């Protein structure tokens, strides 16, 4: 059965809707001074000693210090676990007050009845760097706001390119040519994988951005997968050309996101298209790794999709006002300056007025923020993103093992996603 936009996509979601039908989605007016404990789900672990975790820990502590009546009770939950647990928790009236969710899965969680619409106060924040009208429920009500921004970029190892006498490619055809040269020198020419782990991010992310580049919608007006067009076929042809040129790793059918990022870090992968969130980490772990704008397709431009992590309020929260106060703080200027020290790109213009962003330490974050704003556009995701991503992985495996053409790849992916 084809998954529809805003349809109840998860098993048991109809039950969720019945159980929650009596919930207004927002709590009654709260006493702003009453003690409140907010439950918060985040995939980052603030006990870990890394820049992003340290920034999260500092921001929560700063928020609690500024709001002594509000305590944040954080649970570390992976994205995969959130996708499974949030609908169940919402059905049981135990959804977290606030949770972080990856943009492509917001539609899926909205269809499962996980969100409360944001309070009216949310409309007072108008300085988002990118439009937020893609973060809405089936009724068009705002259910989430962007916490950090990312889009796709081309990563390349300058040392490897110099070794084979290649310049940085600016088109997808040039990527194939450079991948062939670097593969002949013993490297993986272009890093991508067809594993369905990590929500198939390693193939679905460049697919998502490519479709934005060529102006191809991924779904039709009813939420049915609808990308097997002439424009969409070019993505499949790119993969088939890489295969034929020897530019893919022989283990591509099982390679995952971590396989590719590890290969870039250790200098065995020459190029890859990944999210901009890796730019600062790569620059620190391997100085030979550089990034640039997406290659140009034969039609379209270099404008990819805007995505990233978002914050929303759980359905049935009894502390909607306090929850919004926390969300507003975590996306605001003070917290934005702290999160930027961990390499994440703040989502509000006001953050960039903070003193940190005028220091040399902010140079890379400022560069990424400008790139996201100039080279990406957000779009609405239907409620079956994981299904589409998995279908791309399965079609990719057939492309490599069974020699599918580019058009056969894209058609197979759409047919699989539509079942």
DSSP notation for 54-103:
HHHHHHHHHHHHH-TTEEEEEEE--HHHHHHHHHHHHHTT---SEEEEEG
Among 277, 273, 288, 254, CA closest to 179? 273
Helix (H, G, I), strand (E, B), or coil: what is residue 278?
A: helix
User: What is the per-residue pLDDT across 378-409, written as a single tens digit (0 to 9) for each?
Assistant: 999 999 999 999 999 999 999 999 999 999 99
Assess whether pLDDT exceeds 50 at residue 233: yes
Task: Over range 294-315, report the average pLDDT.
Answer: 95
Helix (H, G, I), strand (E, B), or coil: what is residue 285?
A: helix
Burial (CB count <10 Å: 0-12, 13-18, 19+), residue 160: buried
User: What is the per-residue pLDDT across 236-273, written as a single tens digit (0 to 9) for each?
Assistant: 999 999 999 999 999 999 999 999 999 999 999 999 99
Task: Over range 13-26, report the average pLDDT.
Answer: 36
Assess whether pLDDT exceeds 50 at residue 28: no
Assess whether pLDDT exceeds 50 at residue 202: yes
Helix (H, G, I), strand (E, B), or coil: what is residue 339?
A: helix
* More reliable by pLDDT, 342 or 179: 179
Model pLDDT, residue 299: 86
Residue ranges with strand state E in 222-367:
271-275, 289-292, 304-305, 309-314
User: What is the per-residue pLDDT across 111-125, written as a single tens digit (0 to 9) for each?
Assistant: 999 999 999 999 999
Task: Over range 268-281, report the average pLDDT.
Answer: 95
- Kindly tell me the sign of the dihedral angle through the C-alpha atoms of 138, 142, 147, 152: positive
Q: With cut-offs at 50, 70 and 90, classify the pLDDT of residue 30.
A: low
Q: With cut-offs at 50, 70 and 90, classify the pLDDT of residue 2.
A: very low
Q: With cut-offs at 50, 70 and 90, classify the pLDDT of residue 21.
A: very low
Model pLDDT, residue 18: 33
Q: With cut-offs at 50, 70 and 90, classify the pLDDT of residue 1.
A: very low
For the chain, the average pLDDT equals 92
* More reliable by pLDDT, 14 or 41: 41
Model pLDDT, residue 10: 32
């Amino acid at each position: 059965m084809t998954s529809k936009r805003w349809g109840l996509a998860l098993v048991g979601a109809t039950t969720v809707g019945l159980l929650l039908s009596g919930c207004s989605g927002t709590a009654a007016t709260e006493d702003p001074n009453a003690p409140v404990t907010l439950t918060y789900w985040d995939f980052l672990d603030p006990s870990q000693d890394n820049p992003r975790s340290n920034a999260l820990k500092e921001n929560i502590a700063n928020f609690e210090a500024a709001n002594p009546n509000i305590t944040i009770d954080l649970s570390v939950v992976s994205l995969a676990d959130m996708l499974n647990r949030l609908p169940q928790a919402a059905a049981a009236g135990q959804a977290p007050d606030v949770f972080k969710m990856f943009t492509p899965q917001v539609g899926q969680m909205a269809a499962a009845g996980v969100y409360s619409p944001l309070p009216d106060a949310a409309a007072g924040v108008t300085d988002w760097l990118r439009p937020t009208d893609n973060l809405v429920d089936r009724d068009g009500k705002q259910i989430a706001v962007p916490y950090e921004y990312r889009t796709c970029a081309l990563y390349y190892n300058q040392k490897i390119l110099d070794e084979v006498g290649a310049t940085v490619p600016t088109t997808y055809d040039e990527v194939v040519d450079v991948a062939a040269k670097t593969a002949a020198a013993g490297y993986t020419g272009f890093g991508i994988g067809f594993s369905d782990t990590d929500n198939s991010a390693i193939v679905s992310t460049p697919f998502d951005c490519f479709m934005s580049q060529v102006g191809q919608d991924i779904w039709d007006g009813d939420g049915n997968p609808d990308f097997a067009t002439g424009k969409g076929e070019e993505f499949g042809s790119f993969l088939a050309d890489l295969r034929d040129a020897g530019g893919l790793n022989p283990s591509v059918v099982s390679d995952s996101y971590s396989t590719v990022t590890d290969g870039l870090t250790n200098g065995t992968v020459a190029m890859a298209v990944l999210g901009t969130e890796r730019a600062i980490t790569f620059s620190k772990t391997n100085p030979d790794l550089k990034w640039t704008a997406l290659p140009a397709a034969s039609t379209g431009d270099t404008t990819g999709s805007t995505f990233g992590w978002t914050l929303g309020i759980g359905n049935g929260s009894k502390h909607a006002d306090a929850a919004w106060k926390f969300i507003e703080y975590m996306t605001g200027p003070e917290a934005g300056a702290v999160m930027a020290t961990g390499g994440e790109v703040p989502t509000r213009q006001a953050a960039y007025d903070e003193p940190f962003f005028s220091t040399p330490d902010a140079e890379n974050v400022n560069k990424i923020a400008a790139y996201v704003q100039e080279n990406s556009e957000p779009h609405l995701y239907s409620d079956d993103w994981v299904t589409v991503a998995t279908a791309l992985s399965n079609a990719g495996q057939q492309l490599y093992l069974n020699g599918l053409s580019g058009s056969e790849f894209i058609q197979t992916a759409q047919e699989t996603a539509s079942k």
